[in-house]
Amino acid sequence: MTLLSLQDLSITINGKPILHDVSFDIRAGEIVAVTGESGSGKSMTALGIMGLLPRGATATGQIDLDGVDILRTEEAALCKMRGNDVGMIFQEPMTALNPVQTIGDQVAETILVHRAAPKAEAMTRAAEMLERVGLPNDRFPLSRYPHELSGGQRQRVVIAMAIALRPKLLIADEPTTALDVTTQATILDLLRDLVDEFGMGLLMITHDLAVVANMADRIVVMQHGHLVEQGATDDLLRNMHHPYTKALFAASGHKVSLPTNSHSAPFLSVQNVTRDYRTPRKTLFGKPGTFRAVNNVSFELNKGDRLGLVGESGCGKSTLTRAILGLEPVQSGTITLNDAPVFSGKKPNADVRRKMQVVFQDPYGSFNPRHRVDRLISEPFHLLDTPPTGAARSDAITKALTDVGLTPADATKYIHEFSGGQRQRIAIARALITDPELIVFDEAVSALDVSVRAQVLDLMAKLCRERPLSYLFISHDLSVVRTITDRVLVMKSGEIVEQGATEDVFQNPKHPYTQTLLEAAPTLPDDQATR
């Protein structure tokens, strides 16, 4: 039975076309995944179905939900429909809940606003629904506030809110993108169970093709507002027709080939490093508590090593990164580069610092918007005693830009003139300009679309072939770490629980946490074959 049917849906916002003639169906009990890169219009499709398009948007075509054309329905009737016939969950669980209202009230509100039950009964049903999504009442009473819950728990509340009246259709817009991989697995399991139990249709919007391949009955692939291909999951994965679909899946499972590392001399040495943070006092006159972000961590990085560091949010990997870069002091232990300490006394050691550079995650926040590219990428020259000037300086800038696949003319542009992928190239150029011996990539490809990510990974592999490059690659994305590193550290709760050659760790994880992590990570069918 067809539950939702989109026919020739087109959307423009202030005259700018966003969607072009999109048509697909969802049947009851079916999971349909809409996938594509940023700007493909997939989220706008979801908002269109909810009748929640932003101001200035106009939609044409037809959205038929169980016999009702949403585009031709009054707002009052749409309000009755939302929450009742169709529920929606969002990407960011940290902000999707009202911070000043209890979770019980927020779940019960779905029932109350549709006058489905009196207040007392609504609260009982809210409690049942929270129990159903995995928040038992004895541990998560209705009187809890959102800030008292973790991200995964909040996402469960959002799901409870969306399904409290057992809607026929649930729309999930990137429901697990903001979550850790182990949490993601449990939320995806929950969604799958709910679809089976309630016989709902589930429309999943996600950019993560591995999630798509594992969850969906049918896949819809979108690009620049066009639907390029759709089909049953198995068929589509086996038999892709559209070149974009092929490119997308290829980029998602993209592998690079790194040259072999012939060096073996220890280079960066981290010995018994511990870093504590103070936490607020529990009682008024009590001692402030401490939180141990990094606990007795030791590892070595040899010259030419491509070392990965994986772990979930809050595991201490960012703290460790900052300590290695000399941005923060450590409580105990030593970090040395070529036997020279990163931190000498209270001050960072300038001699060591000039041998390290860093590439950050966010291509939009990594650059001062008021400086030109030449000034941006030459900033590390500040570390040198005699920075190049004049022609030498512009030669260095030209070389750095060409090395990362940009043109010398880009030096005079401002950062807003570049796309996310280009900005990440500029970030790499900045890191390369002083020829550092170690580069730290801090989630450097995590914010990029898969096709752009594949290009940046290729660039890194190319650089490894051209010069002796050692790097520490920090990421939560296991598939990327697997291809771009040759050794890996697994971090959990401030400790390194496992380390070894990347392929060994992935093929044969020893520590239970590593096993859980690899188990939870969704994989594309091709990966499963090699496992």
Site of interaction with another protein (CB under 8 A) = 50, 52, 75-76, 79-84, 87-88, 90, 92, 95-101, 109-110, 113-114, 145, 147-148, 158, 161-162, 280, 283-284, 325, 327, 348, 350, 353-354, 356-358, 360-362, 365-370, 379-383, 427, 430
**Cα 238 to Cα 53: distance, rounded to the nearest angstrom:** 35
CA distance 35 to 49: 16
Residue in the structure block whose two tokens are 């005699």:
386
Other C-beta atoms lying within 10 Å of the C-beta of residue 144: 17
State the Cα–Cα distance between residues 12 and 102, nearest whole angstrom: 38
**Angle at alpha carbon of residue 169, lines to 155 and 195, rounded to 5°:** 65
Pick from 484, 374, 476: nearest CA to 433: 374
The pairing of beta strand 218-223 with beta strand 201-205: unpaired
User: Which CB atom, from 281 or from 510, has the smaller least distance to another protein?
Assistant: 281
Nearer to another protein, 365 or 512 (CB): 365
Q: Residue 213 or 270: which CB sits closer to another protein?
A: 270
Q: Which is nearer to another protein, 246 or 364 (CB)?
A: 364
Q: How far is the CB of 505 from another protein (least distance, A)?
A: 29
Q: Report helix angle 151-163 to 119-132, nearest 10.
A: 130
Q: Report d(CA 507, CA 504) in Å as an integer.
A: 5
- CB of 90 or CB of 418, closer to another protein: 90
Smallest gap from residue 52 Cβ to another protein (A): 6
Cβ-based nearer residue to another protein, 379 or 477: 379
Give 310 or 325: the residue with its C-beta nearer to another protein: 325
Task: In angstroms, give the least distance from the CB of 366 to another protein.
Answer: 4
Distance CA 318, CA 327 (A): 11
Q: At closest approach, how far in Å is the CB of 349 from another protein?
A: 10
Q: From the CB of 80, what's the least distance to another protein, in Å?
A: 7
Residue type, 522: P
Give which of 373, 376, 317, 359 is closest to 463, Cα–Cα.
Answer: 359
Closest approach, Cβ 371 to another protein, in A, equals 9
Nearest of 215, 174, 209, 173 to residue 193 by alpha carbon: 215
Query: Residue 361 or residue 422: which is nearer to another protein going by CB?
Result: 361
- Record the tokens describing residue 293, joined without a space: 């972000």
Answer for the pair 188, 31: CB distance below 8 angstroms, yes or no.
Answer: no
415 in Cβ contact with 469 (< 8 Å)? no
In the complex, what is the shortest distance from the CB of residue 379 to another protein, in angstroms, rounded to a whole number? Answer: 5
CB of 503 to another protein, least distance (A): 31
Residue 66 C-beta: closest distance to another protein, Å: 16
Least spacing, CB of residue 223 vs another protein, in Å? 25
423 or 492: CB nearest another protein: 423
In sequence order, which residues have a C-beta less than 8 Å from that of residue 116 and are 6 or more positions away? 84, 122, 165
Whether 208 and 27 have beta carbons less than 8 Å apart is answered as no
CB 283 within 8 A of CB 244: no
Q: Which amino acid is at 249?
A: F
Closer by beta carbon to another protein, 227 or else 325? 325
